[in-house]
Amino acid sequence: MGPIRREQICRAAAAVIAREGFAGTTMRMVAEEGGVSTGMLNHYFANRRDLLTQALVHVSERTQNRFREAIEQTPPGIERLTALLDSALMEDEQMIETWRVWINAYGEAVRLPALRHTIEARLTSWHELIDTALEGLLPPSPPGAIPAAWRFDALLNGLAIQALTSEAALDGRQIRDEVIATLLGGADAHGGAPASASRVASGASRL
């Protein structure tokens, strides 16, 4: 029952963080969201910071499992890369929540070194997934160069965050195709990628 209860609390914490941000999330809010007592939270988590950090880990693991399932049956090449991007740019409730939690986590990490360590650990496994999606599409990065996975992450984050936090007229297909074209140096992303990415910009109305 313990792991199930911890997951329930982490899900509740993620929902509150997505609405209120890290700074605005309290133990009482999470308890109410999860339908448990604050005493239950204190039983499973050392303190508020521990709870919020574990909520980020939960969101990251949940999302990376989703991405892994999206690409594991797809052969290397443009289709695998497209599958990863389409999964990341879906507008369903879980992905919108994921983006909100991560946006808030990056902001909070500016002043909390401990959170930066957690983010770094989660990014390591995320970058491994990106490398898998890029298999066979790019040569190895030369020594001292910024790795391709970092460039992918920067492009995807920058464009998706702009779509979610501004009035920019960006949708999932545009973001996907721009990431592919930029990374692959003008490859035919527009003609070769399937059109299954959902619109991200519409999620801005729910922020």
Domains and CATH numbers, the chain: 57-206 (1.10.357.10)
Instruction: Give per-residue pLDDT as tens, 149-188.
Output: 999 999 999 999 999 889 888 899 999 999 999 999 844 4
Q: Is 120 helix (H, G, I), strand (E, B) or coil?
A: helix
As a whole number of angstroms, the distance between CA 202 and CA 51 comes to 30
- Torsion on CA atoms 128, 177, 15, 26, rounded to nearest 10: 80
pTM of the model: 0.85
How far is residue 156's CA from residue 139's CA, in Å, rounded to a whole number?
20
Neighbours of 144 (CB within 10 A): 5
> At which residue do the structure tokens 């605005």 appear?
24
pLDDT at 141 (0 to 100): 85
> Which single residue is written with the structure tokens 């790019």?
138
Mean pLDDT over each residue of the chain, to the nearest integer: 88
Is the pLDDT reported for residue 196 higher than 80?
A: no
